[in-house]
Every structure is written in C-alpha cells, then in structure tokens.
Amino acid sequence: MSYSSFLSSAAFFTILLLLHHGFYHVSDGAQHATYIVHMAQSQMPLGFDLHSLWYDSSLRSVSQSAQLLYTYANAIHGFSTRLTPEEADSLMTLPGVILVLPEHRYELHTTRTPLFLGLDVHNADLFPETGSSSDVVVGVLDTGVWPESKSFSDVGLGPVTSTWRGGCEAVTNFTASLCNRKLIGARFFARGYEATMGPVDESKESRSPRDDDGHGTHTSFDILAAIDKAVDDIVDVLSMSLGGGTSDYYRDSVAIGAFAAMERGILVSCSAGNSGPSSSTLSNVAPWITTVGVGTIDRDFPAVAVLGKGKNYSGISLFKGDALPDKTLPFVYAGNATNAANGNLCGPGTLIPEKVKAKIVMCDRRVNARVQKGEVELVADAHLLPATTVGEKAGDIIRHYVLTDPNPTASVLIRRTVVNVQPCPVVAAFSSRGPNSITPDIIKPDLIAPGVNILAGWTGSKGPTGLASDARRVEFNIISGTSMSCPHVSGLAALLNSVHPEWSPAAIRSALMTTAYKTYNDGKPILDVTTGKPSTPFEHGVGHVLPTTAINPGLIFDLTTVDYLGFLCALNYTPSQITSVSRRNYTCDPSKSYSVAHLNYPSFAVNVDGSSVFKYTRTVTSVGGAGSYSVKVILETTDVKISVEPAVLNFKEINEKKSHSVTFTVNSSKASRSNSFGSIEWSDGKHVVASPVAISWTYALLCNSSLFQSKNGMQCVLGLYLFSLCYLKKVNILRPQG
C-alpha cells in the first residue's frame, strides 16, 4: 500500500468543542459555577434502573433548578451540572459521590513534512503492498472541521470500517452528506460552554462541527463529553491539541478521559504546550498520554528588512501581493505614530493615519509564551501588506536606528520559499519544557515532532491573517505550535496501529520514542533555539520522531492498566482519588512496595534527594524476533555511575519478555548545581532501542553538600522553602497555551 493510499484509508473522526474567545454574553449569577461530579457506579441504589436516573435524583436532592449538562459513561462515571458552591458541598456529602470538581478551562495549542519525516520514499514495512494493514480511525478534538477542504477527499477509498459506531451530526451549516469515507463522522459539544457563557452567537460562528475559528477555548465538561463519545464510537487514536496548566491527575479532565481511552486500546496524543522556553511549563504529563513537543522543519519563508544605512536584517514573512517600490521609504516607529498606550503594537485603530501613510512602520510584538526569540527561530505570520518579522536582537538594532536617525528610511523584500534549511530540526523556543512538575520521576515531553511553519488546512470563514478586514480566503495556511506537532504524532501512531493492530497504546508510544533521533547526520546533538546549545530530554524528550524506524523498533516497553494503577498507588493516591482516575474500586496492596521508578516507561528520571543509590526495573518485549541485545550507557557527568544488570539480553522468539535492573549510584559529596543527562541504549546490531536519562539535584541535597558548607543552616532552609513555594505555584497556576 502506497503512502497516499494509506492516507486515504485512514479515517478521520472530528469532535468539535466550540468555545471561542469573545462570542458570548454574561451568564447567570456569579454564585453559580459548573462542576463535574464523579460517581461510584457500583453504589447505585437498587431502586434505579439507569445510572442517569440516579444522577438526576442525587442532583435534585440538593437543587431543584439544576440540570444535567452531560452524563458520562466511558471517560468517567458521573455527570456535569451548574451549582452554587453550597450546593456543590451538599452534593459531596451524598452516598456514591466520589468527587465534585469545578470546571477547568483548556486552551488549544496552535506539504513538506512527509518528505522531512522520510515518508516520501516507499517503505514496505510502513506501506505494505499486500493490503495487510488495517483501517484506522483517528479522533480529533478541536474547534471543528471545514469539510469542503481537499484534505478530506475520499476519492479512491473503500467502505468505512465496520467497527465504526459514530455518526455525522446534521445541524446548522453542517449536513450529514458532508461526511464521507474519509471524514467519517463529526460531532458538536457546547452544553458546558453555553451553560457558563451563554448561547453561541451564531452571527459570528456556527453552532455545528464546522470550524469558524481555527482554534479556541474549551471547558473540561465538554472535553470529557467528547472523549466519552469518542471511546463509545470506537476510535483507534485520539488527538488533542489543548491544555490548561497542570494539576493532580484525579483533578485533570484530560488525564481522566485519556485513562479511559487507554483502557479501550486508544492511543491518546496531546500537545505539550506553547509556554516555553521557561522550565516546568508542560501540560498533559500523565504517563498514559503521549506528550509532544515542537521541532522545526527544513523550510523557511525568508524576507529582508532593508535600512537606509545599507544594513539588511533577515526575517520571515507570509505575503503574496505587489512588491514595494524598488527604493527605501520613510520609516517611522509605531510608538511615535499613536495616541494609544499600546500603540507600539500596531493594534487595529491605534495608529494615526497621516503619520504612517506611505511609510514603513516598525511595530513591536507583544512578549508572550512563544515570543522572546533570537536570531534563529522565527514563526511565519500571514500579512495583508508587505511585512516581515525579525528576531529580538535585530529588532533592537532597527528600533535604535528609527528612533535616533534624523531621516530614517527602510523597505521590505519578500524572498522565495527555501528548503533544506540547516540545522534542522531545532527545538522551538515556544515549546513547553520539563521537568515534569506533577511527577518529576517521569520525563516529559516524550518526544518532539514538526510544529513550526506547518502547511495546514484552514477554515473557509476567515482570511489567513484571521483579521475581520482580511477578505481573502485560502484552503491552507501556515501555522505553528504544539497544535501542529501533536497531529503529526497522532498520524504516525495511526500508521503503526494499521501495521501492528495488536500493539497496545504503550507499545506504539514506546516504538515512537525509542527509535527517535537526538543528533543530526553529522553526529552533533539537536540544538535548542533558545540557547543555541544542545537540547536536553527536558526539551526534546527522547528526541525527534522517526517513523521509518519506529515501525520495526526491535524491543518495546509495554504497559497495562494494572501497571498504571500501581503507579497511582506509588503516588499515595487515596481509594477515592484512584476511583476518580480509573472509574473503579481499587485498593492498593498494603503488603506491596509501590514505586514510580518501577513503571515500565522508556525513560529514566532520577531526582537525587540525599540517597546514594537509586534502583529501577524495566521489562522489554521482543517484537523483532530472536536476537542478542547489548547495553551501552552514555552519561555526561562523572558524579553518577550507571550499572545495568544483565548487560546482555538474549531473545529466542518474538514477544518474549526480558527484565533488567538499572542502578544509579551517586557521589553525593560532589553534588552538581545543574542537571545531567545521558541515555541507555540496547542494540542487536540492527536495532537501537534508546531511553533518555535525566538526573536532577534537589535543594535538600545541595544544602547537605560541600557546595553549601560555608552557608548557615537558616539560609539552606530558606532556599528549600522558596523552592517549594515556586513548585506549588507551577502546579496550580493555569497557563493559556495560545
């Protein structure tokens, strides 16, 4: 089967969460809020035939006016509703109620990549000619779909897979006939949003699966409803480019819904977030979620800012139209051509027309989660007029020129698209980073994928700039963000699922992770654009995804639901907290010693806390048949020694399992001030199965080390206390991922 025929045979199921910025009115009184209620399904009284009737009765006992927004049967067991805080407290006291959680907002994280990923050449493993691969259904949670897009053409496709149980909702501006053999279903979820924000303004957007935005804001109860339905409709891969900061897994709707999907054999791929380059800014860090960061591709859209002094500065631009005159023009700084406080940003209506007419204008760009760029990484934006974006360093020089020269002039030259840009990939500055603030013993993100300047399908209701004044309409646009990298991994997971339908979600993720690359062809490490230095597992996870090797990884690290339950026990979760995540009554075995270090994850995070020895266990399964694998350890610090036992694993047949231990021995007297990284690699001469290693030194250890022997005890205690405050802040603050 060819690459193109596979793409057409992979069905796409779109779930819409329609909750956009600005298109709503104020809802009912401020005292009411929306809540998700987790119920113990097994505790339903005998007098009820249906769980929904029990839920309604429980709700009526605390509020006569409240209504069920959604009932959930797959993602969780329970319902969502609107209550006052007092009613929510009363509901929590009823029999069978496990947890009552307030709503949580989630922001979406928003050609050439098949060639860049090596999918342009025939690969008999990925695209078998025999037709032995299976149909795959990919569920996408986003702001909708433009069904007329050529991306959804079903020319040459066969019938929809018989396992599909979903449908195509016929609502405003969206008929069932718009679905076909590729876009096989589309649903719309907005009850939770409308309960909070009021009815959707249909003069500005469709109340349907149609995408009028390209991205938006979502509430946890609509997300859970969408996941719940996706599980019931039987998707194989679930792609979610959204996030809302971090919280404990039993309070995280995405983590809870993803757990239910994982149990049903669905791989859940989520974006890591666009809050880099600060550390510990990740979203979606549950170990049953595949968390995807962002790398660049080898394509650029160059432009040049030309100054009257003869200086040229490289930039990037998406503009198609008439070029500027072949000369420099008068040049003005926006901050000097406005009466608005933030006029330097060139917002709509902020510039004085007579001061900018027929001139080149320099606009500052607001510093946000994905700006603060240097000379290397720039994100291409569509423009209505000839314009270019330059990096921070060049911007400072240009601003100084326009503010100090008595007669400044400038121009903008738009160049042709270029490819084979090097070095590539580099980790994007906006890509959210580790360490993992919820479970530091699990490295996140898992890996990176293309997410900068990606050609993507675009809504037909807005121009490429998204501005109301932009009357142009395009089928595709250039977009950047983890909202672009996540679907790449989702699609690659679908490829692996089609060839290996017997593999679990953890097996597929393991194959994608352990075969990723972290060096360029010349052997030099992948760079972090923020620093210009080699990136680390806290930025790139295991490295950049490489599908041509992932299809035949040799060994996999597999995980089951029981393993994840043991992980929750290792976190010291209470029975009710475990029930909130797993929807079952589960009691941790008091005679058993649980440890996050024993979760069979394809990476190793060691947090040195004063102990000198840390022991991990792993089990690998041979999916490549008989072979002998030898281990290789790479570590950049001499303060830690790594030993692997046994150092050789011999397999006689496919699906055979072998366990090994990994021991980290720390020289605590030489505690480092910085993190250290490395890898553990198994190879049989044909396959290389790599796991990243990250070693972090806590403040508790530093206080006891020789580095602080000259400090007094109070200073060390204060340092640890301030670190704890910072850590808690990172856990609880919500971060928009726009």
Rounded CA separation 479/642 (Å): 42
**Sign, CA torsion 255/16/221/30:** positive
Cis peptide before 386 (omega within 30 of 0): no
Query: What secondary structure does DSSP assign to 244-270, as a single string?
Result: -----GGG-HHHHHHHHHHHTT-EEEE
Q: 461 burial class (0-12, 13-18, 19+ CB within 10 angstroms)? A: middle
Query: Cα-flanking dihedrals φ and ψ of residue 710, to 5°?
Result: -85, -10
> Judging by beta carbons within 10 Å of its beta carbon (0-12, 13-18, 19+), is residue 116 exposed, middle or buried?
buried
Of 215, 540, 544, 687, catalytic: 215
Residue pair 486/240 in contact by the 8 Å Cβ criterion:
yes
Tokens of 484: 């672009």
Of 483, 490, 580, 672, the catalytic one is 483
Q: Could you tell me if 236 and 138 are in contact, meaning their C-beta atoms sit under 8 angstroms apart?
A: yes
- Do the Cβ atoms of 75 and 256 come closer than 8 Å? yes
Distinct helix (H) and strand (E) counts, the chain: 17, 36
DSSP letter (8 states) at residue 597:
G
Catalytic residue among 56, 135, 142, 228: 142
Catalytic site residue 364?
A: no
Place of tokens 């005292």: 31
Residue 283 is among the residues annotated as catalytic for this protein: no
Q: Name the CA radius of gyration of the chain, rounded.
A: 27
Closest by Cα among 112, 132, 169, 579 to 300: 112
Q: Which two tokens stand for residue 548?
A: 């041509």
What is the greatest pairwise CA distance in the chain?
86
Q: Please report, as a single letter, which amino acid is at residue 73.
A: A
Q: Are 241 and 108 in contact (CB under 8 A)?
A: yes
Q: Is 215 marked active-site?
A: yes
Task: Give me the active site residues, please.
Answer: 142, 215, 483
